[in-house]
Amino acid sequence: MSKLSIAVRACALPVSVLSLAVTAPSSADIVTMESNTALSTEGLAAFTGSMEYVYLGANLGTLTVSLTNTTDASIGGYLTAFMFRAPGEYGSLTSVLTSSTYAGMTNIPAGSNGSPFPGSWIGGAGIGGTWLGGGSPNPGVAVGDTGQWVFSITGAMASSLSAAAFVHGGLTDDPYAFIVRFRGLADDCSDKVPATTPAPGAIMLGLMGMAIGRSRRR
């Protein structure tokens, strides 16, 4: 039985059964994502990426974020910040950036302003450790390039978290759970873009590509 089939069947299990399942460490959980241009502020920038959540035991987990700047070359610019949050039903969570392939993009603390999107976020990474910071966008991810960031996640409900929860929410859909900022676009424009998950067919192609990539690295 595939992991996908198991995940689908788990959705139909009673809450009492699911509550027992979260007490044991889970395997890696991966979700692909892409820019939701319809909800972006300017409709200019774009990205693709993935999130992998691994429960480590007790109240600890690891969240790995990979993002590729897929903005059209004629528009240019840099991916300069992103933030994420989990649904309220998972209780209080803390996030700390432990690894970044872009040294200039450092930890964004919980509660940072994600203007113009509503709410608050538990963490992220950005140039100067901010979402709205100015200055040169050059330390960010250029068009065609990919960055990877690893976060330590701590919380009493760490065992029940999933990667998908950080992209679109939980019991209630959250279109702004994961947001990305771009600066240095054509005509000195910027853009702020929420994430969404691709259509099922695109998800399968993305997972196949990831699997092929991993097998080649072995």
Taking the C-alpha atoms of residue 48 and residue 50, their distance in angstroms, rounded to an integer, is 7
Give me the residue spans of the domains in the chain.
Answer: 26-217
| Cβ partners under 8 Å of residue 125, min gap 6 | 65, 81, 82, 97, 100, 102, 105, 106, 107, 108, 149
In DSSP terms, 153 is beta-bridged to 61, 95
Specify the DSSP class assigned to residue 7. H
In DSSP terms, 29 is beta-bridged to 53
pLDDT at residue number 213: 46
Q: What is the pTM of this model?
A: 0.80
Taking the C-alpha atoms of residue 22 and residue 160, their distance in angstroms, rounded to an integer, is 5
pLDDT at residue number 58: 95
In DSSP terms, 54 is beta-bridged to 62
pLDDT at residue number 199: 74
3-state DSSP helix/strand/coil percent for the chain, to nearest 5? 20, 35, 40
**E strand or H helix at 212:** helix 200-217
- Contact by Cβ (8 Å): 116, 192: yes
Residue among 28, 73, 40 nearest 195 (CA): 40
**Alpha-carbon dihedral 124, 29, 199, 99, rounded to 10 degrees:** 30
Taking the C-alpha atoms of residue 130 and residue 214, their distance in angstroms, rounded to an integer, is 32
pLDDT digits (tens, 9 = 90+) for 176-214: 999 999 999 999 999 999 999 997 644 444 445 445 444
Spans of the chain, pLDDT less than 50: 1-26, 201-207, 209-210, 212-214, 216-217
pLDDT at residue number 200: 65
Structural class in CATH, domain 26-217:
mainly beta
Residue among 181, 167, 134, 202 nearest 30 (CA): 167
pLDDT at residue number 28: 76
Residue found by looking up tokens 């509660």 in the block = 111
CB contact burial 104-135 (16+ within 10 A = b; e otherwise): bbbbbebebebeebeeebbbbbbbbbbbeeee
Q: For residue 187, what are its two tokens? A: 């005509």
